[in-house]
A and B are shown apart, each in its own frame.
Chain A
Amino acid sequence: MELRGQGFLIQVVCWVFSLFQVTYKWLSYTLGVHVNQAKQMLYDYVERKRKENSGAQLHVTYLVAGNLLQNGHVCHKVAVVREDKLEAVKSKLATLASVHVYSIQKALLKDSSPLYNTDYDIVKSNLQHCSKQMQICCAPAGPRPPPEAPRAPPQSTQGPREPGATGTANGHGPAAARAPPQQHRGIAGMFAARAAAKGQDTPRESKAEAREAPGVSAASSKPPTKNSIMNNFFGKAALNKLKANSVPEQPKEEKEVVKPSVAVAEPESSPNSVAEKPGKKAESAGIQQEDKKSKTKRADRSDDEEERDPENVKKKRKRIKQLQSDSSDDEDVPPSPTPEEERAPSPAPAPAPKAELEPASAEVSAAGRKRKRKRVLKSKMFIDEEEGCMVTEKVYESESCTDSEDEFCKPKAPAPHKQPLLPTKREPKEERKNLKKGAAPANRANKQVSIMGFFQKK
Chain B
Amino acid sequence: MTQLLPQHRGNACRLASCGMLLGPIWPTHVCSAPCLEEKQEASQHSPALLAGLGNDIVLRKLSELQAGERCCVVGTLFKSMQLQPSILQEISEEHNLVPQPPLPKYIQPSDELMLEDELQRIKLEGAIDVQRLVTGTIMAVYGCEQDDGRFLVEDHCFAGLPPALPWNGPSSDRFVLLASGLGLGSVSGEALLSTQLLVDVVTGQLGAEGEQSCAAHITRVILAGNLLSQNTQSRDTINKAKYLTKKMQAASVEAVKMLDEILLQLCTSVPVDVMPGEFDPTNYTLPQQPLHRCMLPLASAYATLRLVTNPYQASLDGVRFLGTSGQNISDIFKYSSMDDYLEILEWTLLAGHISPTAPDTLGCYPFYKSDPFILTECPHVYFCGNAPHFQSKLLQGKEGQRVLLVTVPDFSATQTACLVNLRDLTCQPITFSGFGADSEDGDMEVGH
Residues on A lying within 8 angstroms of B by beta carbon are 25, 28, 35-36, 61, 63, 65, 68-82, 85, 88-89, 92, 97-100, 109-113, 115-116, 119-120, 123-124, 127, 130-131, 133-138, 140-144, 148, 153-157, 159-161, 177, 184, 187-188, 288, 292, 303, 365
Of B69-77, B133-141, B400-408, B428-436, the one contacting chain A is: B428-436
Check A154 against B269 for contact (C-beta < 8 Å): yes
Whether, in the assembled complex, B439 has its beta carbon less than 8 Å from a beta carbon of chain A, the answer is yes
Given contacts A92-B444, A136-B203, contact A157 B436 (CB under 8 A): no
**Cβ contacts A to B, 14 pairs, < 8 Å:** A75-B431, A78-B207, A78-B433, A79-B431, A80-B433, A92-B446, A99-B208, A100-B208, A115-B193, A116-B193, A135-B205, A135-B212, A140-B303, A156-B216
Which of B87-95, B145-153, B233-241, B257-265 contacts its partner? B257-265
The chain A residue with its CB closest to the CB of B254 is A288
For B283, what are the chain A residues with a Cβ–Cβ distance below 8 Å? none
* B84 shortest CB reach to chain A, Å: 35
Q: Are A141 and B207 in contact (CB under 8 A)?
A: no
Interface of chain B residues 393 through 448 with chain A (CB within 8 A): 419, 428-437, 439-441, 444-448
Which residue of chain B lies nearest to A28 when distances are taken between CB atoms in the complex?
Answer: B205
Q: Does residue B204 face the partner (Cβ distance < 8 Å to A)?
A: yes
Asked if B304 is at the interface (CB within 8 A of a chain A CB), the reply is: yes
Indicate which residue in A25, A28, A109, A141 contacts B302 across the interface (CB closer than 8 Å).
A141
- B64 in contact (CB, < 8 A): no
- Min CB distance, A304 to chain B, in Å? 12
Would A98 and B436 be within 8 Å (CB), given that A35-B205, A76-B419, A130-B268 are in contact?
no
| Nearest neighbor of B207 in chain A, beta-carbon distance | A98
Complex alpha-carbon distance, A263 and B448, angstroms: 76
B52 CB within 8 Å of chain A: no
A75 to B261 alpha-carbon distance, docked (Å) = 28
Rounded to whole Å, the gap between the CB of A105 and the closest CB of chain B is 13
Q: Is B197 an interface residue (CB 8 A)?
A: yes
| Contact status A78-B189, CB under 8 Å | no
Interface presence of B49 (CB below 8 A): no
From residue B176, how far is it (CB to closest CB) to chain A in Å? 12
Report B197-212 CB contacts with A as 1/0, cut-off 8 Å: 1001101111111111
C-alpha spacing A72/B428, complex, angstroms: 12
Q: Which residues on the B side are within 8 Å of A76 (C-beta)?
A: 419, 428-431
Structural contact, A135 and B204, CB atoms closer than 8 A: yes
Q: Is the CB of A97 within 8 A of B209?
A: no
Known: A97-B208, A98-B210, A135-B209. 15 other contacts (CB 8 A): A25-B200, A63-B207, A65-B211, A71-B445, A73-B429, A75-B430, A85-B441, A134-B204, A134-B269, A140-B303, A148-B303, A153-B219, A157-B216, A160-B210, A187-B301
Given A77-B431, A142-B303, the answer on whether A69 and B205 have CB atoms closer than 8 Å is no
- B432: contacting residue among A78, A89, A154, CB under 8 A: A78
Contact residues in B for A65 (Cβ distance below 8 Å): 201, 206-207, 211
Distance of B238 from chain A, by nearest CB (Å): 20
Number of interface residues of B (CB under 8 A): 62
Q: Is the CB of B216 within 8 A of A155?
A: yes
B174 at the binding interface (Cβ < 8 Å): yes
Prevailing SS type, chain A contact patch = mixed
B residues 236-255 with Cβ under 8 Å of A?
246, 249
Q: Bound complex: CA of A85 vs CA of B441, how far in Å?
A: 9
Q: Which residues of B contact A78 (CB under 8 A)?
A: 197, 201, 206-207, 430-433
Residues of B within 8 A of A69 (CB): 446-448
Task: Kindly identify which residue among A79, A99, A140 contacts B433, using a CB–CB cutoff of 8 Å.
Answer: A79
Selected contact of A113 from candidates B193, B213, B392, CB within 8 Å? B193
Contact B261 A138 (CB under 8 A): no
**B217 sits at the interface (CB 8 A):** yes
> Which A residues lie within 8 Å of B257 (CB)?
288
Residues of B within 8 A of A (CB): 174, 189, 192-193, 196-197, 200-201, 203-219, 246, 249, 257, 261, 264-265, 267-271, 297-298, 301-304, 392, 419, 428-437, 439-441, 444-448
The smallest beta-carbon distance between A153 and chain B, in angstroms, is 5
Query: Are B209 and A77 in contact, with the CB atoms below 8 A?
Result: no
In-complex Cβ contact of B304 among A35, A116, A138 (8 A): A138
- Which residues of chain A are near B267, meaning CB under 8 Å? 141
Given known A80-B434, A116-B196, A157-B213, contact A131–B268 (CB-CB < 8 A):
yes
List, in ascending order, chain A residues with CB within 8 A of B304's CB: 138, 140-141
Q: CA A350 – CA B253 in complex, angstroms?
A: 31
Alpha-carbon distance between A130 and B267 when the two chains are bound, in angstroms: 10
Distance, CA A112 to CA B264, complexed state (A): 23
Measured CB to CB, the nearest residue on chain B to A120 is B196
Rounded to whole angstroms, the CA-CA distance of A302 and B52 in the bound complex is: 71
Contact of A138 with B448 at beta-carbon distance under 8 Å, contacts A157-B212, A365-B246 already known: no
Q: B206 near A154 (CB under 8 angstroms)?
A: no
Instruction: Give me the 7 closest cross-chain CB pairs, A-B, nearest first.
Output: A112-B434, A98-B208, A131-B268, A135-B204, A136-B204, A156-B216, A143-B301
Residues of B within 8 A of A63 (CB): 206-207
Given contacts A92-B444, A138-B270, contact A77 B433 (CB under 8 A): yes
The interface residues of chain A lying within 8 Å CB-to-CB of B249 are 292
B428 to chain A, nearest CB (A): 6
In the bound complex, residues from chain B placing their C-beta under 8 Å from that of A159 are 213
> Cβ of B210 and Cβ of A136 under 8 Å apart?
no
B172 CB, min distance to chain A CBs, angstroms: 9
Q: How many Å lie between the Cα of A184 and that of B206 in the bound state? A: 26
- Beyond A78-B432, A100-B207, whether A127 also contacts B189 by CB under 8 A is no
Docked pose: A82 CA to B434 CA in angstroms: 9
Question: Which residue on A lies nearest to B430, using beta carbons?
Answer: A76
A127–B264 contact, CB under 8 A? yes
The answer to whether B434 touches A137, judged by C-beta atoms less than 8 angstroms apart, is no
Residues of chain A lying within 8 A (CB to CB) of residue B439: 85
Residue of B nearest to A72 (CB): B447
Question: For residue A79, which residues in chain B have a CB less than 8 angstroms away from its CB?
Answer: 431-435
Nearest-neighbour CB distance to chain B for A298, whole angstroms, equals 10
CA–CA, A79 and B257, complex, Å: 26
Residues from chain B with a CB closer than 8 A to the CB of A112 are 193, 434-436
- Nearest Cβ distance between residue B45 and chain A, in whole angstroms? 45
A142 to B271, CA, bound (A): 11
